[in-house]
């Protein structure tokens, strides 16, 4: 599959408050720079789910300049290692709502496995994390291998 836009992607986010992240996403292959934002409406606790609002580029493999606007609901299942989520997403690429969902499974305090459906395609992730970094092995659309690196400073 020829998909140059998502081949390299860089994100920078700044925590303005404990609820608000603002940032930039840069896709160098197409020289695209887009704003991103995420606002936590409710933090998860024993009685309530996480609810957040966000915007970024549309799904992986979407055309240049397309955006998504999302509300996400997530809740860890008590006494388990599972944390499912569900979202309602407005896709400017398709000019319609999509319904992403997925589940994270904590394999170990530093290892997570996740399966996610972006509203069209299913992706698999295996993540190793520390307090400052994360590294994920991705299987995009169940066919294409990728790697993601994150650094917190």
Structure confidence at residue 9 (pLDDT): 87
Instruction: Show the tokens assigned to 38.
Output: 């995420």
Structure confidence at residue 7 (pLDDT): 74
Structure confidence at residue 3 (pLDDT): 61
**Rounded Cα–Cα distance for residues 45 and 14 (Å):** 24
**Rounded Cα–Cα distance for residues 141 and 10 (Å):** 20
DSSP state of 6: G
Structure confidence at residue 53 (pLDDT): 98
Structure confidence at residue 72 (pLDDT): 98
Query: For residue 96, what are the β-bridge partners?
Result: 91
DSSP track, 33-61: EEEEEEEEEE---SSS-EEEEEEEE-STT
Structure confidence at residue 2 (pLDDT): 59
Structure confidence at residue 63 (pLDDT): 87
Q: Are the CB atoms for 86 and 63 separated by under 8 Å? A: no
Structure confidence at residue 112 (pLDDT): 98
Give a three-class secondary structure readout of 18-39.
CCEEEEEEEECCCCEEEEEEEE
Structure confidence at residue 64 (pLDDT): 87
**Rounded Cα–Cα distance for residues 119 and 19 (Å):** 26
Structure confidence at residue 59 (pLDDT): 86
- For the chain, domains (ranges, CATH) are 5-151 (2.40.160.40)
**Rounded Cα–Cα distance for residues 64 and 54 (Å):** 18
pLDDT per residue, tens digit, the chain (153 aa), is: 556 666 788 999 999 999 999 999 999 988 999 999 999 999 999 999 999 999 999 988 888 889 999 999 999 999 999 999 999 999 999 999 999 999 999 999 999 999 999 999 999 999 999 999 999 999 999 999 999 999 998
**Rounded Cα–Cα distance for residues 152 and 101 (Å):** 26
């Amino acid at each position: 599959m020829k998909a140059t836009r998502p081949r390299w992607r860089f994100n920078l986010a700044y925590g303005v408050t404990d609820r608000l992240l603002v940032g930039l996403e840069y896709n160098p292959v197409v020289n695209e720079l887009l704003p991103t934002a995420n606002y936590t409406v409710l933090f998860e606790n024993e009685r309530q789910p996480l609810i957040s609002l966000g915007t970024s580029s549309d799904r992986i493999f979407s055309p240049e300049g397309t955006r998504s606007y999302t509300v996400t609901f997530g809740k860890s299942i008590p006494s388990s290692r599972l944390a499912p989520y569900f979202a309602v997403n407005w896709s400017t690429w398709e000019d319609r709502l999509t319904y992403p969902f997925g589940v994270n499974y904590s394999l170990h305090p530093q290892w997570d496995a996740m399966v996610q459906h972006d509203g069209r395609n299913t992706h698999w992730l295996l993540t190793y994390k520390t307090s400052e970094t994360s590294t994920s092995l991705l299987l995009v659309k169940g066919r294409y291998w990728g790697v993601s690196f994150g650094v917190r400073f």
